[in-house]
Structure 1
Amino acid sequence: MYRRIMIALTATATVAAPAAAAQGDVLVRVRGIIVAPNERSSGIAPAFSGEKVKVSNSIMPEVDFTYMLTPNIATELILATTKHKASGRTGTTGTIGKLASTWVLPPTLTLQYHFAPDAKVRPYVGAGLNYTIFYSEKASRNLVTAAGKTNVRMKSSFGYALQAGVDVPLTERTFMNFDVKYIDIDTTTRLATTAIGTQRVRVHLDPFVVGVGFGMRF
């Protein structure tokens, strides 16, 4: 009887303390994220050099894949795409309001350090690079009404990324994840209008990306 009780307790302890990720494991996470630009812009030159733009937040799903090089060191590929709108802040463009919208695809690769891979709470930090692609850019109806037919192009860019997060194991292979990233994203937007010619604005988006989700270890 005593032996059976000890076996049962051992089995319970094993379930209560999920195994750590080991070298060669792949972690797949699905998060809900909010992308909050911390934007700074130049003027809209040459016609509205004293007027700047603001960029909207976006909420979307994100998928990432982590490969454990060792129990403490990992690489992570982060994949998500979000849609944002740019609006004028003041003056003429502020009166127009929404100027344009775009989809943003910033695939990001980070190198991570996992501090306590066998603990019940497993924090990590990471740093890496992103390449941001802007696509499906579109002038707003308000801008087309004010300035005529407008062609919008946004330049892609390289930047760095910083990351911090924590995994909280739920079972042997599943876990909950909390994650925050800062991504360096810059772009130059070109607005080619029929009424006021070509305008350009330089925008530093530099968003904070906050995510919550679930993961599985393979």
Structure 2
Amino acid sequence: MKKLLVAAMVGTAFLAAPAQAQDNTGKVQVKLLGTAVLPDGKITDKPVDLVPLPAATQTKANDNVVPTVAIEYFFTPEVSIETICCMTQHDVDAVAGLPGAELVSNAKVIPATFTAKYHLNAGGISPYVGAGVTYFLWVDVKPGAATVPAPLNVTKTKFSDEFGFVLQAGVDVPVGDSGFGITLDAKRYFVDTTAQWYVGNTLAIETDHKLDPWVLSAGVAYRF
């Protein structure tokens, strides 16, 4: 369903008529959005494993829905740059090897994101595509409930901050001529992280994870 939504948005953007200047809107647009963050979280490598974990151990990060704010500046009616502001929280659970075990609890991340966007004018409706960069800044990561007691006895868990890339597609739909509108947006992030579990000062487990979340948003916009 997520992939179909993004494909539909991209298809709309490329099939729309060539962009034309829009003279009834301003250079700044602010969006208030409800955003679903749908990460992967699977293990791609285990560089350190002193426990050891079962060979088949695999993980998944849980989904979350958060409010977000997007601020966009238009250099021309067709070309803009956008940044978003939000914090999202996720657990990481084992889905194989240790099924159901919570390995990371309430990991909070700020996905600092900038995208450059190209807009088309389809009879007032404005589909767009974009691409950009992101930096995932982890501000609070706690050991999961399954890792604290024996035999693991984990005392600290860390995620590495990482740069990544973003692809984006969506559509803005004006409501009247006052600058208000509704907006739909889909982003696919390509970013990884390295997780570390410590027992005292000893690094007991280190795993590389593919995050690559889908980030799907809907909300209202005001351009001025």
TM class, shorter-chain normalised?
Answer: 0.7 to 0.9
2:67 matches 1:65:
no
1:143 counterpart SS class: coil
Which residue in 2 is equivalent to 1:129?
Answer: 133
TM-score normalised by structure 1 residue count = 0.83
Which residue in 1 is equivalent to 2:9?
Answer: none
After superposition, give the CA deviation of every residue in 1:146-186 in whole Å (9 maximum; x if it has no partner): 42242001100001100000011113210000000001121
After superposition, give the CA deviation of every residue in 1:134-156 in whole Å (9 maximum; x if it has no partner): 12100123321242242001100
Confirm or deny: 8 A CA contact 1:181 1:209 kept in the other structure.
yes
Which residue in 2 is equivalent to 1:120?
Answer: 124
Residue correspondences, number: 195
Separation of aligned partners in 2, 1:204 and 1:94: 19
2:36 matches 1:34:
yes
TM-score normalised by structure 2 residue count = 0.81
Structure 2 residue corresponding to 1:212, chosen from 203, 207, 218: 218
Greater Rg, structure 1 or structure 2? 1
Task: Name structure 1 gaps, 5 residues minimum.
Answer: 1-17
After superposition, give the CA deviation of every residue in 1:105-128 in whole Å (9 maximum; x if it has no partner): 111000000011x73321011100
2:161 matches 1:159:
no
- The letter for the 2-side match of 1:202 is D
Query: Which of the two has greater helix per residue?
Result: 1
Query: Which of the two has greater strand per residue?
Result: 2
The change in CA–CA distance for 1:28 and 1:197 in structure 2 (over 3 A counts) is closer
Confirm or deny: 8 A CA contact 2:196 2:203 kept in the other structure.
no
Moved more, 158-167 or 82-91: 82-91
Deviation at 1:20?
A: 4.2
Confirm or deny: 8 A CA contact 2:168 2:186 kept in the other structure.
yes
2:150 matches 1:150:
no
After TM superposition, the structure 1 = structure 2 runs for residues 178-193 of structure 1, keeping only pairs within 5 Å, are 178-193=184-199
Separation of aligned partners in 2, 1:90 and 1:39: 13
2:40 counterpart SS class: coil
After superposition, give the CA deviation of every residue in 1:176-197 in whole Å (9 maximum; x if it has no partner): 0000000112100000125x96
- The letter for the 1-side match of 2:134 is N
Q: What percentage of aligned pairs have identical amino acids?
A: 29
Q: CA RMSD in A?
A: 2.0
